[in-house]
Amino acid sequence: MAFKNGRKVLYLQVLKALYGMLQAALLWYKKFRSDLESIGCEFNPCDPCVANKIIDDRQHTIRFHVDDIMAIHVSSLVNDKFAVWLNSMYGHCGEVKQTRSNFHHCLAMHFDFSHTGHVRIHMKDYIESMLNDFPVQFTSEDSVPTPAPADLHATRTSPKLPPKEAEIFHTFVAKALFLCKRARPHIQLAVATLCTRVKDPNQDDWRKLLRLMVFLFRNQGR
Amino acid sequence: MLPGIDCEEDVEPVTAGHDPAYVPMPQRSYDNELSNEHNFAPVDFWADANVFLLACLPRRRTTADAGDASVPASTRRPPSPPPIATRSGRSVHPVTRLAPAHNQVLTIPTLKQVWIAPALADVEYSHNMVPLPVHHSIDCSTELAPVFAQLIFDMNCGVCRQQFIFQKGRKKFGKRGDQAAFNEFDQLNHRNCFTPINLSKLTPLDKKKTQVAVMLLTKKKDGTVKGCCVYEGSRTQPCITKEETASPNASTEGIFITATIDAHEERNVMTADTPNAFIQSSLNHLKDGNKNAVMKVTGMLVNLLVKVAPDVY
């Protein structure tokens, strides 16, 4: 222990990756990958987060995103054994929580396997919270007219948004960007346009965002 | 036009530079925002049997004061709710109460239970809310009611969680903050995440690379305070290349495709979440230059750490 400017200072050598370390995510990936390879998994050369292993002549696929893991096999027994292995390897800091039903939550998306032969991927709760957080609340009869002018290439001028409102605009465009990269790729065009306006948004851009939000509101159940 | 929206076409497409008659929409004036006038309009409020909150919001400005074209009254407004029927029989000018009174049993409402009537037509903005530009087709008075409801719900249910650094958190949480930080250090010590190092063994370069340990305190939904010790890695960015930090992630498209195959082949799906994943990986895999990550703990945190393991520290 040392004293610096009258304050106690204790220097510690870090032995394990702590939250906040830039290398922490890569270290975890390397560790998890080497552990999976040690049990015979082969990694997909095109996707470094997908590992495969042939068990009982059927493929066991393991996909992971940092610490979220999704494992698939025809037989549930294989997944049971894999869950036991996960707990034995990483369960000493707390139990590895596993979900074994037709409904899964992974990467902020919901996977619904309840209908045989079909999977339904949605982000209803994310959209709902996004709509709830939005300062304007919509009703089913609301509509926002198209902000597109008659000439699409015309330059429109409109008063700028005040700084705080511009911040709200930026926040919700970022949320929409996350959404469009996940379960709602069909809003990518609108989001791509809005993303170019986050630095200096005006009232026209706000209308565009409103139109997008109304669209999400009307289709939030899908 | 976005798919799925059957809205009216823009009646007057505005094209600056093409239409000489174009006049941009005037900016709302917020000059009257600081007026001291508070008109406490009678507020209708309805909730179910567990009425917990009655609101009476100060009126900051009216549509007429705002200097903008008045917003037409909404024709889509839902029908008026039934009048207030509290247990005590009071119906007007209720008292705003966000915290339970002494020995009062407070039922935390769900969102469905909190409902502020659209009769709040003349209440536009609360004192804490940023006025929003009104250049859309939605009546701002009706849109605010659910905002208040959500805000009140968040305040009561602890959705608005905030992290505090240790000094501020201690002031806020008192001894619970100390205990949370102690527990966090205890866990990290138990998992051998760090070991004390003699200052004389550090080179000047190592000293420069030393980063401060930040203890963050958060109040969880159940009321408990949680501590989280974080290494301030942002300042090490100049020392570390991106190749050493970037880690691969699963591609969204890959997940969609494989999930579709899983559904088609009716496979068994399991998802799992690894707790404290990062702490389980050792720094030994790093290059030599980065192996010696040194962290310094200062102030009150030193006392807590010494208290955790007096023989070690």
Mean pLDDT for A126-145 is 86
What percentage of residues in chain A have a pLDDT greater than 90?
50
pLDDT category, B252, cuts 50, 70, 90?
confident
Separation between Cα atoms, residue A127 and residue A121, nearest integer Å? 13
Helix pair B140-157, A124-133: axis angle to 10 deg: 110
pLDDT at B194: 84
Instruction: Tell me the CB-side half-sphere exposure of residue A150, using CA atoms within 13 A.
Output: 9
The values of phi and psi at residue A185, to 5°, are: -70, -15
Q: Which two tokens stand for residue B199?
A: 């200052």
Candidates A1, A19, A23, A127: best to mutate against B (most CBs of B within 10 A) is A23
Q: Check whether B87 has a pLDDT greater than 50.
A: no
Q: Which of B27, B285, B297 sits opposite A12 (nearest CB)?
A: B297
Q: Check whether B11 has a pLDDT greater than 70.
A: no
Q: Which of A98, A157, A165 sits opposite B271 (nearest CB)?
A: A98
Beta-carbon pairs below 8 A across chains A and B: 378
Mean pLDDT for A170-187 is 93
Q: ipTM score here?
A: 0.86
Distances (CA, A) of B23 to A158, A159, B27: 9, 11, 12
Distance, in angstroms, between B208 CA and closest chain A CA? 12
Chain A residues touching residue B250 (CB < 8 angstroms): 47, 49-50, 63-65, 107
Distances (CA, A) of B45 to B29, B60, B113, B127: 30, 19, 11, 19
Chain B residues touching residue A135 (CB < 8 angstroms): 129-130, 132, 143, 147
Q: Which chain B residue shows the shortest CA-CA distance from A66?
A: B249
pLDDT at B148: 44
Q: Could you tell me if A136 lies within 8 Å of chain B, comparing CB atoms?
A: yes
- Tell me the pTM: 0.63
Q: Check whether B308 has a pLDDT greater than 50.
A: yes
Mean pLDDT for B161-170 is 80
Task: List beta partners, residue A53.
Answer: A60
Q: Is B206 within 8 Å of B294 (Cβ atoms)?
A: yes
Q: Which two tokens stand for residue B275?
A: 């707790």
Identity of the highest mean pLDDT range in A167-171, B35-39, B87-91: A167-171
Q: What is the pLDDT of residues A84-130, one digit of tens each?
A: 999 999 888 778 888 888 899 888 899 999 989 999 999 999 999 99
Q: Is B296 within 8 Å of A10 (Cβ atoms)?
A: yes
Q: Could you tell me if A163 lies within 8 Å of chain B, comparing CB atoms?
A: no
What are the boundaries of each domain within chain A?
Answer: 12-100, 102-146+159-222
Report chain B's mean pLDDT, rounded to a whole number. 61
Pairing verdict, β A120-122 and B163-165: unpaired
Q: What is the pLDDT of residues B182-236, one digit of tens each?
A: 888 888 888 888 888 888 888 887 777 788 888 888 888 778 888 888 888 777 7
Identity of the highest mean pLDDT range in B119-133, B241-255, B262-276, B294-308: B262-276
pLDDT category, B305, cuts 50, 70, 90?
confident
